[in-house]
Amino acid sequence: MTVNQGRKQANRRMAMKLAVVTVAMFGFGYALSPMYDLMCKAFGLNGKTGRIEEQAVAQNVDLNRTVTVEFTGMATSGLPWEFKPLVKKLEVHPGETMEVKYLARNLAQEEITGQAIPSVAPGISAMHFKKIECFCFTQQTLKPGETREMPVRFVVDAGLDKDVQTITLSYSFFNTNKLSAKKYGGEALGQGEEHAQHVHPVTASGS
């Protein structure tokens, strides 16, 4: 075998390896989005807690079982709002539709738009926590000094593991404007985040 022939074979082997790597990288990138969705559903992150239309809510309520649902919330450093649940916890029956409210108050002297990102713990309960109505479905715009009570209607379905006795629903509220968030010493919600897509601001008429 000549030196040129050896080089040609080595180049062919290298080209084949590069082709395999390229295909593998393409496959990984194609699978990344559904993998992200599966992880979010498994751990209850980024609002992957399940959304359901009210007409689809099952009417069967398990009166023989109760689950404690705890509520927490925080405004991030770039959002000068007071934000908290008006109810700390509830005892609910699986299949029972419940409603709680959170309070948001704009402490700034300017109009600000925020977006709430929910999460549920433990992660295995996320797929069984169904939100019918939630302020986190849309951006919320508050005028200077405005206070708003915002509802969350939900149901814990009967498929929840019987070992789970307590569920915690948490919200982190972010400023949606980068310049505004920086002004208040924080960061805005990433505009590339999946949960920030297809969200439109709404402004309530009353305080």
pLDDT digits (tens, 9 = 90+) for 91-113: 999 999 999 999 999 999 999 99
Domains of the chain: 54-203 (2.60.370.10)
pLDDT of 207 strictly over 50:
no
Cβ neighbours of residue 139 closer than 8 Å, sequence gap 6 or more? 113, 114, 115, 176, 199, 200, 201, 202
The confidence band for 71, taking pLDDT boundaries of 50, 70 and 90, is: very high
Q: What is the pTM of this model?
A: 0.68
Residue 137 clears pLDDT 70, i.e. is over it: yes
Pairwise CA distance, residues 61 & 140, whole Å? 33
